[in-house]
Every structure is written in C-alpha cells, then in structure tokens.
Structure 1
C-alpha cells in the first residue's frame, strides 16, 4: 500500500475543466468503518448536475467527487463484524438509508455532503457497503449502486412488478436501459420510447417488445396505448418529467414512477391536470435511488439470473475529466465506467 493516494474533488458550479486532483495520505478506518481500495466507478447525469450547480442536495465545497463505486476491503476499524478484508463491495450512495421510506435524515450522500468514490481509497461505514454479485467484474458491478438501484426501486418499490404485467420506459438513458433488463427478468412485457431509429434494434435486443419513436409522434402515449389494445401499461418509468403523457398511457389503477424531471420542459410537456390524474386512478410516485435493503434485493436478483449490465465505454481513473466530457457531449448507450485497472 502506498502512503498517498489520488482523489478528485469538486465544488458545485466549477465545471469539468476545473475538477481538482489532490494527493492525500491514505486514511485509516475508525471504529465501525472499513477502508476500501476503489476498483471502479460510474458516471451519471448526477455528476454533471453537481458540476453545473444544478443539484438539489447540498454540496460540500471540495468534497471527493462521485457517488457510484465498488472496490475491495483492505482494512477494518474496530468493532467491524459483518465485513471481512478481501470482500468485494459496493458503496451505498446514501449510507444512512438502511430501510423504509426515504427521510431527510438519510440525505447525506456520497459525493455531495460526504466524500465520494472518485478516489483510490475510501473510508466507509460498515453499514454503508454491500457485497457485489460474484459473477460481475468490478467494472460491471459499478453500474449498479446508483442507476441499477434506481431502476430496481422504480420497478419494485411501489406497487411492485409481477410477471405478465407491462412496463414502459422512456428514452435510452441508463436508468431506462437497466429497467428494461430488470423488468424482463421479472417476466414483464416492456415497451420503450426513443427518438433514434438507430437505437430501436438495440432496445429490442435488450428486451423491449416494441419501441415507439416519439420524435415522429408527439402524442406517443396514444401509440403505446394502441400497442396494449387501449388498456395502457401497468408501470411507467418516467425519467424525463413528461407526466401528462405518462399518466395518459398508464392503465387504470397503474403506477407512474417519477425518477427525473429535468427534461420535461425540453420535451414540451403539457401541464398535468387534476382531472387527468383522477380519471386514470394512477399512483404517481416520485423516488430517488433506494435503501440498503433494496440494494441487497437487487444484488440477489442480478446474481440469481446472471444478469450483466450494459457498458458503453470504459475510461481509466486518470482520464476522469475526459470521461465526463464524453458523457456530457456523447450519446452513451449503457454505462460509462471509470476503471482503476
């Protein structure tokens, strides 16, 4: 073990070009803590929003960046009982959220108010790490702690997804792609939307039964309803904030899970009327990520089915700024991974 380590630090609004690197002493775990040698991380829209000062949670100036990462436990603090040296683990994005509904007291988040995972070594609470599925590489496992868990919670955390039900995902962002994979594992029929004809075949190969091009039909909810014999879909995973169409396409008494809202204005979403909600009988459930218990459930599902998340591109840890630029300007289909190997 070297005496110092490299880490990336962020201050809200500073921009990619000003992401700071530091050489710091490798920390030692305190009571109830573990030291993790980070092996891989992943990028998401969250990281860009932090850099652009457009993130809803408070950001500690100079905090270690990144909330989604996995690695190997290399040292234990006193009184650690459930984790062993050598264990392959994922960091919990919200390490204080163990179970139950999200509460403000659980809002401390890696890479925001707490030091994150874009570092060579991280000290984490014993309760803030979970084992990663045995069949996954570190790069693959890094795709799950934030985006994979969000997709899992979106599908299972509300009314719950049952085999034979229908799911609609919007676009080709990382949450939507993982939701397709997880919904198919549960035996659901999945419909997807996209504005890219080139991605239609890729979505179908991932498991989508049918894909609707929303750029050709602004009222795409009508087309999706037609595909279901006008019944509508049981679950809508709305990552864009186009609630007017999401509620119109959901089946009577179904569920719309609102994962994101930032694209609603750009998508020219119409205001959602109370009458539309009332007629639908739908449950609208805003949510973010998931608890430790849900993370363990996700891992069991992934491991029992040998599922592998889709990876678009892998960058080295030293090339993190380049990776962020690629994520912002490119159109990744799958996760963008930061690898320490």
Structure 2
C-alpha cells in the first residue's frame, strides 16, 4: 500500500504503508534511540503523537510479551526508514507489521527520515497526518493543520488507570500517582520490595494520605503539564507530609507546585543518549528521555526549589529539589526501558529520603 505523511507546513512524504490502513492525526516527533522500539511504542507519554525513529532499521528483533511499558501501544502513527520483515530473536512472537495491525496503528516506511528529522529540528515539532492506503494528497494537506494542538488535548485521562490497584511488597508503602506510568517504574519499586499502590491521576491529597504512604511517586505522562492542574493541586497538598519523587511529567508537576512555570521545547528530548550533569557530584549521566515540555529556569524560586541537574545539550532544567522539604524530581527516566541504567541510583536516593523522613536514617546502596 502507498502511505503519506503530511505536515502542517505543507511537506509531503510518500512511502510504503504497513500496519493498519486509515488516516490518523497527531503531533509528529522523532526519537533517536537505536533500540527499544517496543518500549517506545507502548510508552503512554507518546499518546497523541506520530513517532519517527531516526535509526534506519527498526523491527529486527521483533516484539515479545515481556517488554511492554503499558497494556497497549499509545502512539498514533509510526515512521521508519526501513522495516525489518523477518525479525530474529528467541523471544520474538510477531513482527512490527503484525503488531501495528493488531492495535490499529498505521505505519509508513521508505521515506527520508533524515530529511524529516532535520525539518522537525529546524521548524519544531508540528501537527501532521499519516495516511495508509489510497488517499487524496490535497485533502491530506488541508486536514493536516486542522487537527487540535497537543496542548489542550487533556491526554492524561486517556492513559491513567481507571481504578486503584496494588502490587504487594514488604518494605515501603509507596503510592504511585499514575499520569501515564511506564511499567518499569513499578517494576523498579517492586524490585526493592516496595508495596506499590497505583492510583488514578485525579486522586486527591486526602485520598492519598488515607493510604498511609511512606512515599509518593509522581509518574511520567503525556501532553502539556498545564493541562493537569488537579495534579499540581494534589502535589501542593502532599508537600511536607510525605516524601515525593517525580519523574518526567511528575517532575513538571512538582515544579509547578513549587511555583515554577513550564514551556514547550521546539522539538523536545526523545532518545536514550542525552547527557545530564548533576551539580552535587559534578558527574555526567547518559539518560533516557521523552518529553516536549520543560521547567522555565527563570521561574524557579530559590527560596522554594533548587535546580539539581541540567541538560548539557541545551541547559534545560533536568532535576529539582524542594528546599526544606522531602521532595525531588528529574525530567528524564531513571528506570530506562529503553536506555542506559546510569540513573538507577535515584531510586535508592528516594528510599534513603523515606528512611530519613521516618527518622530511621538507614542507607540504601545503589
């Protein structure tokens, strides 16, 4: 089948279609990871987006049952230079085409993904339409810019859990507020023996505190943090009452609760090789990232929050710590999946914070 990717600025990319036929709108973004396409496809933070992979060959190890980061994929469309049709891996159960068909997601291959990425880097991410099948290009050009902007879409309700659930453990009771959580965050908390109580994004401060948490995790999630005001209010109510660790969208919500503001990045950070400097140690970590918004550094109030990490590519804020309160956050993904495991120490930092808050002072070593 023919397939088209049409951007709101009028650019048209014609290629070969795979996955499900049909027309789908979304924000067109790019990810520079060389592996981890299954985790990327199933990361809820990509809800509402058409994801372009810059690495040229995608699908060579197939898809399996173990590497899902949510119950299903959330991408709107998928763009690759070349799709591997015969994957080879002992865990592989299906190929990329079969997987996308099963989940009614359209894909396009055979286009110049380098030219597309350059366009997005120069002009910023933009709205687009991915159409698989026989479509009129003039119609696609007209509709590409008519779709709603990602900001204002209120995507978190589409990815959060419908009802609370618990993964039992015997160490800490951690309440995880699900704004679109990746499963590897839950796996990481469970690995150390935590009981993880996952609650919907709209859960109130009082409802969370009624669960008697030792700590609260604010998860990643899609879209503009300004579209999650209820999350900000919940975090405000939790500050000072319980240790808090925020990741990605959770980082932005903590920052807003501490008085900071956010802005949209031109083309976001999406990949597994972003260098981040930690001020306290002077160390540089290679990190996994997936976000289109960031904390405005000029809005961080020194009496309320301290910037702990910066991105060495563009000096954006990558970490915050609340002043005088047991709360910190990072913009990137310490749980990886995909990506390097350099920043797993942050989970142990969270556990140390819980112990100090409880007055025990025990130490957990990464």
With the length of structure 1 as denominator, give the TM-score of the two structures.
0.31
User: Higher strand share goes to which structure?
Assistant: 2
RCO higher in 1 or 2 (8 Å CA, sep ≥ 6)? 1
With the length of structure 2 as denominator, give the TM-score of the two structures.
0.29
